């Protein structure tokens, strides 16, 4: 499986810019994107669950509140909190269920994150999707940020889709499936192309990003 690293990231960005004038224009305007990576940990998965289908600002507020309450986030600490305590950290009813399910899977060793490290992307996807509340978007983000896999293209991500529409000048009715075709020339580095598009989306809107 392909990975990107601190040694290869900028070179991959440059290669993509040579292949695609729209990506080149983003880099010219905003510079290279940060290499957004996170540790391959339970805490990272909890943050990713919090980021599902809400604004990043709301997710970070919840994560910050949780960290203030428990410090470093572990399965044991999540399981020790009551529903009410999790709600004060802005967890919804659904996300309480998801976080507890993940915590139990790790505590009982049904899921061992360390064993995922060298598995192919699709084997990791199958393993993580066994858990309630973990779907393709969450797996894509974990593969990209935590395991530094180089060829993910998460079409479930609103920021990516909107950035593609903006920079490829696509109409609002342009099908997501055809975006996959537009991304074909970026293989095997679609993760890095996604980060370039995220970078443009974030810079244009003056957003702050956590990790």
Helix or strand (DSSP H, E) at 61: helix 56-70
Bridge partners of residue 149, in order along the sequence: 3
CATH of domain 9-36+152-205: 1.10.1670.40
Per-residue pLDDT tens over the stretch 146-164: 999 999 999 999 999 999 9
pLDDT at 127: 97
Per-residue pLDDT tens over the stretch 39-81: 999 999 999 999 998 888 899 999 999 999 999 999 999 999 9
How much is the average pLDDT of 127-155?
97
Per-residue pLDDT tens over the stretch 85-104: 999 999 999 999 999 999 99
Mean pLDDT score across all residues of the chain: 95
CATH of the structural domain 42-146, one choice from 1.10.340.30, 3.40.50.970, 1.10.10.60, 3.40.50.300: 1.10.340.30
Question: Which are the contacts of 175, defined by CB distance < 8 A and separation ≥ 6?
Answer: none
């Amino acid at each position: 499986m392909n990975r990107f690293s601190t040694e290869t990231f900028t070179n991959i960005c440059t290669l993509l810019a040579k292949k695609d004038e729209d990506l080149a224009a983003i880099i010219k305007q905003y510079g290279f994107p940060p290499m957004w990576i996170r540790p391959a940990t339970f805490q990272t998965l909890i943050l990713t669950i919090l980021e599902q289908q809400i604004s990043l600002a709301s997710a970070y507020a919840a994560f910050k509140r949780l960290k203030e309450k428990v410090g470093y986030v572990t399965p044991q600490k999540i399981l020790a909190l009551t529903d009410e305590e999790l709600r004060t950290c802005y967890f919804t009813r659904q996300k309480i269920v998801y976080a507890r399910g993940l915590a139990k899977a790790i505590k009982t060793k049904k899921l061992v994150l360390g064993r995922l490290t060298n598995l192919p992307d699709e084997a990791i996807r199958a393993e993580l999707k066994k858990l309630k509340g973990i779907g393709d978007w969450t797996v894509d983000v974990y593969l990209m940020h935590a395991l530094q896999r180089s060829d993910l293209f998460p079409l479930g991500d609103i920021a990516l889709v909107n950035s593609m529409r903006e920079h490829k000048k696509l109409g609002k009715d342009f099908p997501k499936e055809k975006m996959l075709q537009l991304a074909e020339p970026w293989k095997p580095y679609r993760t890095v192309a996604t980060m370039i598009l995220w970078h443009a989306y974030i810079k244009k809107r003056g957003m702050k990003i956590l990790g």
